[in-house]
Structure 1
Amino acid sequence: MSEPKKFLIGGQWRAGQTTFTVRFPYTGEPVAEVCSPGDDDLEAAVQSAQRGARVMRKLPAHERSAILRRLHAQMEARTEELVNALVMEGGKTKKAARGEVARAKQTVFVASEEARRIPGEVVNMDWTKDGENRIGIVRRFPLGVILCIAPFNYPLNLACHKVAPALAAGNAFILKPASATPLSALLLGEMLLEAGAPPEAVNVVTCSGAQAENLVRDERIAMFSFTGSSDVGWHLKRVCGRKRAALELGGNAAAIVHEDANVGYAAKRIAFGGFTNAGQNCISVQRVLIHRPIYNETVETLLDEINALQVGDPRLEETDVGPMITERAAMQAEAWVEEALRQGARKLLGNGRQGALLPPTVLSDVNREMKVSCQEVFAPVITLQPYDTFEEAIALANSTDYGLQGGVFTRDLGRIMQAYEEIEVGGLQVNDVSTFRVDHMPYGGVKASGMGREGVKYAIEEMTEPKLMVINLNG
């Protein structure tokens, strides 16, 4: 391996006192050594970000947009480097890694556009007599320092979903990547410096979770944006004090397939939505609810689609399903499957784990008390369950603490509108799976799945504060 990767504070690459190892999930072999910051380094990061916030606040929109356009160009030129980093640090398949890099570039490009059109408004004050001869103006102003905590499953694009709108809005940031997948975040920091971002505003700290919690508690941080598990996210919300929080947390999404659906298309999309990125996706399809009249046909078609997926080495172009992030994560998912089998579930597909590689697994005869039904598996595991009425399907979809996204396959407009009204999620996909996301749409959940919205325009709203000015024309 090469020299340890340094972390980035205020445009300076620092070594710290200790290092940790990033391993290729498929084989466990070391990929890189990464330096760990100490508490003094994190204090320097906060101070740097405070200075950076003052610089960013004064940058005009066209300059913020230009920085993001140049970042997009950097990412375009270094696409293969980013793809390889995602494959090696996270075990992501080549197909999925290319998809993530393409989406990350799109996220940055959209941010470069949105930087130029952060909205404001004129408020008509003369709705009342006291408001006569006054003009109200509302503009949005940056919050200051944004702490961005990114997960391992989409370490580049989800970092961009935090960093790009922060800069577009005129904030500085501190980015804390997941310890398993820091390499793409360090590349992002490097490219931002090359793109001409104010160095003080760009901080990438490869610190521990405990150190990140200390940053969340720091009153100098104006907002933190966290993507990760529900348990951790809600804990951080409890300890964050008065600062603003955006939480993109877990899910165990349902896909409803009604008798009037295109079964072949639904099966193809569910096979994609349940097993892309080895099921390590908060909007992954986990629960498939199938109308009883088409249950057998749908199950047969779905199993054919899943069997066609190529499982194995993520470095190979043809691989569809690679390893989970660690063997420990795969072992936990396997344990949940075995527990469900002991409780009466039936395994229709799944040949057993090999290290961190858990092949696509399909369970039937499940009930809502099983962990594979009521909790987030976050693995290549889906469950199948029949229903008799559409109302029953909606009730089953809602029988969870989570509410991130859902999918419903039907051609009936009445059922579509009923699902939209009644399914408790932040986003409903009609004739598609919950896993669908494009990067400018509002994205976020309800219930245990979080608070706030991502999608560049909506993240900018979270990262800015509206301020009113009233001008008295009589003065």
Structure 2
Amino acid sequence: MIEVINPYTKEKIKTLALHTDAEVEQKILQAQKVKSALKAFTPFERSQALHFIAQEIEKRKDAFTELIIQEAGKPRIYAAGEVERAIQTFTIAAEEALRPPQELMELGRSLKTARKIGEIRYFSSGVVFGISPFNFPLNLAVHKVAPAIATGSPILLKPSSKTPLTAELLLEVINASKLPKHSVQLVHCSREKGNELVADDRIAVLSFTGSPAVGWKMKQQAGKKKVVLELGGNAAAIVCKDADIEQAVNKLLVGAWAYAGQVCIHTQRIYVAEEIHEKFLEHFKTETQKLIMGNPADDKTNFACMIDDSNTQRVLSWIEEAENKGAQLEFGGKVEDNILLPTLLSSTAKGMKVRDEEVFGPVVCIESFQELSAAIEEVNDSKWGLQAAIFTDSISNLNQAFNDLEVGGVIHNEATTFRVDNMPYGGIKESGFGREGVAYAMHDYLEAKILVKNK
């Protein structure tokens, strides 16, 4: 059984039954069976279905918002924003469905092939198994489902057991569309059963968002199937001496504290030019104190609880470890009214979990630097490489950062949390393998096929 608990009130919202082995097997067979129907479902029909889903979410966005608040503990401002992004993602997919990748290739490289030409089209690889996390229970699920629909690929989605209700509501909307029945199915199962699906040869593509320990193991178990892994990060921002301090602070407040830091591209480390370090630090402290903390269901709340007590205690232990190793606690580091307060640390160093690992909580480390090259070296001195940000008005600084930062994306004059749903999104090193972003995910769900013919 899955008990869905409100992270803030600790009240049980609902209980869901896990699918039995026989039910999971039936879902796999249904996904295989619907492949032919989806192949016959034209790009136009896929696009129309995707537009319908986007429109239905728009009609029910209040219901989606409330569910995300209740089961994820996400403040209303961010929950509502997630719903809007999901609408955008389906809309982008509807557009991309009408322009599937295809090309013509000249094959006349010799007299023998002078009249030959190649037509390259892309076809669904087969059944997709998507695994989505709790922190964006709607939009990260959508980033697996929408590309699957756009490519005509059946998908089995395993949502987080902490936040399955949003996925249930999404499936209700999808089932009201004209998509062939069983195009999208939910699987509520144990991790062990999920691992069996990862290894199942009937699954053609695995798309996983979660922890690296789980993700890389899944890649080993996945066999010959395609694999996309989005495994989080330890995002850093660089604030150069020519940066607009007020702008940088305002942007990084969101990057640092949105959803209590439970975001893969949460701004965890900030490196500030020595010349402006003290001014930046004081302004950052002052603005953080203005956060409105409390019940995520309240309209004015912009900072609330973490997903559960075990993660709260984990983050507290990491803060304590950092202090014991010489870090300076600037503020926070304690729990009040079930909320782990925003926590700022300085004098952090390699060997501290808050500096080296993905905190996935409301902790930020701020340090100073003298030369940009030194700051870039600090950012790169990490096993993570998802996104990084730089605040500067210098083209030279920007180019240096883009060329030298070892990450999947560099964000200019915005927080590390900046993401638009059509951009390629993913990382290197421990941060992942492959890219999300609708058009880029579609490529992972497709196989190229060439027709060689006479002109």
Same fold at TM > 0.5 = yes
8 A Cα contact 2:31 2:183, kept in partner: yes
> Counterparts of 1:381-396 in structure 2 under 5 Å?
381-396=363-378
The 4+ residue runs of structure 1 with deviation greater than 2 A are 127-131
From 296, 302, 308, the equivalent of 2:278 is 296
Deviation per residue, 1:327-377 (Å, 9 max, x gap): 110110011001101111111111511475211110011102110001000
8 A Cα contact 2:376 2:404, kept in partner: yes
C-alpha separation in 2, matches of 1:34 and 1:307: 39
C-alpha separation in 1, matches of 2:212 and 2:286: 33
Is 2:120 the partner of 1:175? no
Residue 66 of structure 2: aligned partner: 84
8 A Cα contact 2:145 2:184, kept in partner: no
Is 2:265 the partner of 1:283? yes
Is 2:225 the partner of 1:240? no
Is 2:321 the partner of 1:339? yes
Normalising by structure 2, report the TM-score.
0.99
C-alpha separation in 2, matches of 1:357 and 1:50: 45
| Structure 2 residue identity aligned to 1:247 | L
From 175, 179, 184, the equivalent of 1:193 is 175
Mark the runs of 5 or more structure 2 residues left unpaired by the alignment: none
Residue 252 of structure 2: aligned partner: 270
Is 2:353 the partner of 1:371? yes
8 A Cα contact 1:51 1:201, kept in partner: no
> Counterparts of 1:98-137 in structure 2 under 5 Å?
98-137=80-119
Give the deviation of 1:415 after TM superposition.
1.1
| Structure 1 residue identity aligned to 2:207 | S
Normalising by structure 1, report the TM-score.
0.94
Secondary structure class of the residue paired with 1:406: strand
C-alpha separation in 1, matches of 2:404 and 2:125: 35
C-alpha separation in 1, matches of 2:342 and 2:177: 41
Residue 379 of structure 2: aligned partner: 397
8 A Cα contact 1:90 1:325, kept in partner: yes
8 A Cα contact 2:128 2:204, kept in partner: yes
RMSD: 1.0
Q: Which moved more, 1:234-243 or 1:126-135?
A: 126-135
C-alpha separation in 1, matches of 2:338 and 2:104: 56
8 A Cα contact 1:404 1:425, kept in partner: yes
Is 2:453 the partner of 1:471? yes
Give the deviation of 1:465 after TM superposition.
0.8
> Counterparts of 1:1-16 in structure 2 under 5 Å?
none
Q: Which moved more, 1:235-244 or 1:463-472?
A: 463-472
Q: Which moved more, 1:58-67 or 1:126-135?
A: 126-135
| Structure 1 residue identity aligned to 2:152 | G
Residue 213 of structure 2: aligned partner: 231
Secondary structure class of the residue paired with 1:339: helix
Residue 16 of structure 1: aligned partner: none
C-alpha separation in 1, matches of 2:370 and 2:113: 59
C-alpha separation in 2, matches of 1:452 and 1:20: 31
Deviation per residue, 1:212-246 (Å, 9 max, x gap): 11110000000010001111111100111000000
Residue 10 of structure 1: aligned partner: none
Is 2:396 the partner of 1:407? no
C-alpha separation in 1, matches of 2:195 and 2:77: 34
C-alpha separation in 1, matches of 2:17 and 2:54: 27
From 290, 302, 327, the equivalent of 1:320 is 302
| Structure 2 residue identity aligned to 1:84 | E
Give the deviation of 1:311 after TM superposition.
1.3
Deviation per residue, 1:310-332 (Å, 9 max, x gap): 11110101111111110110110
C-alpha separation in 1, matches of 2:253 and 2:110: 58
C-alpha separation in 2, matches of 1:327 and 1:167: 37
C-alpha separation in 2, matches of 1:52 and 1:421: 45
| Structure 1 residue identity aligned to 2:99 | R
Secondary structure class of the residue paired with 1:402: coil
Give the deviation of 1:131 after TM superposition.
2.2
8 A Cα contact 1:144 1:221, kept in partner: yes
Deviation per residue, 1:25-59 (Å, 9 max, x gap): 00211011112111111101110111122211121
8 A Cα contact 1:24 1:91, kept in partner: yes
8 A Cα contact 2:319 2:333, kept in partner: no
Deviation per residue, 1:136-162 (Å, 9 max, x gap): 000111111000100000010000000
How many pairs were matched up? 455
| Structure 2 residue identity aligned to 1:57 | K
8 A Cα contact 1:329 1:356, kept in partner: no
C-alpha separation in 2, matches of 1:221 and 1:58: 20
C-alpha separation in 2, matches of 1:184 and 1:130: 59
Is 2:144 the partner of 1:162? yes
8 A Cα contact 1:333 1:377, kept in partner: yes
Residue 42 of structure 1: aligned partner: 24
8 A Cα contact 1:330 1:356, kept in partner: no
Is 2:421 the partner of 1:423? no
8 A Cα contact 2:296 2:303, kept in partner: yes
Is 2:131 the partner of 1:149? yes
Mark the runs of 5 or more structure 1 residues left unpaired by the alignment: 1-18
Residue 211 of structure 1: aligned partner: 193
Residue 57 of structure 2: aligned partner: 75
| Structure 2 residue identity aligned to 1:415 | N
From 407, 424, 431, the equivalent of 1:449 is 431
Residue 31 of structure 1: aligned partner: 13
Give the deviation of 1:263 after TM superposition.
0.6
8 A Cα contact 1:148 1:226, kept in partner: yes
Give the deviation of 1:466 after TM superposition.
1.1
**CA distance 1:356–1:221, change in 2 (3 Å):** farther
C-alpha separation in 2, matches of 1:20 and 1:200: 23
| Structure 1 residue identity aligned to 2:328 | R
C-alpha separation in 2, matches of 1:439 and 1:20: 30
Secondary structure class of the residue paired with 2:182: helix
Residue 53 of structure 1: aligned partner: 35
| Structure 2 residue identity aligned to 1:229 | S
8 A Cα contact 1:177 1:206, kept in partner: yes
C-alpha separation in 2, matches of 1:315 and 1:130: 71
